Amino acid sequence: MSKINIPMPDKRDNKHLKKRQIKTLWDGLINWKNDLETSLMECDTQHYCLDTNELADPIDEASVNSEAQKMLKLRNRDIFLLRKINKSMERIKEGTYGLCGECGMEIAFERLLARPVADFCISCKEENEIQERQRKKISKSAGRTFANAR
């Protein structure tokens, strides 16, 4: 078996993950990061600029604006994901990757394979999603109540 060339501390908190599992996840993160960086480098800034000919027609201008908005949204999403990948790689180096950021419990290898940038175990993630849905319901109902009060 070849030596794993991943910068990991000798004492790790994530002992539930075998070194070969960490190598698999590390390699996946590296590939994902490289793909995103390539995609971001290839991004053409022309998509965000309007040609003076396009400004003459309001429909064309709206279409170009809409397309530019979509491209910016995707680019921002990729940048956010790239930050999460870097954070996960940093946690591998620290020996804390694969531990829930909320409860400290182990995140299953299968979950990390499916979502290598997972910060939470499945239980904490589900709880966070339930709380988020409840906050959205409250803010929506508060918005309606405020609008109806006028």
Residue 94 sits at the vertex; the CA angle it makes with 89 and 97, to the nearest 5 degrees, is: 55
Taking a C-beta distance cutoff of 8 angstroms, is the pair 40, 83 a contact?
Answer: no
Q: Of 65, 71, 82, 83, whose CA–CA distance to 43 is shortest? A: 71
Residue 25 has pLDDT above 70, yes or no: yes
Q: Higher confidence at residue 143 or residue 35?
A: 35
Joined together, the tokens standing for residue 97 give: 């990757």
Of the two residues 31 and 40, the one the predictor is more confident about is 31
User: What pLDDT does residue 138 have?
Assistant: 76
Beta-carbon contacts of 59 under 8 Å, excluding residues fewer than 6 positions away, are none
Q: What is the pLDDT of residue 41?
A: 84
Q: Which pLDDT tens digit goes with each residue over 58-111? A: 777 777 778 878 888 988 999 999 999 999 999 999 999 999 999 999 999 999
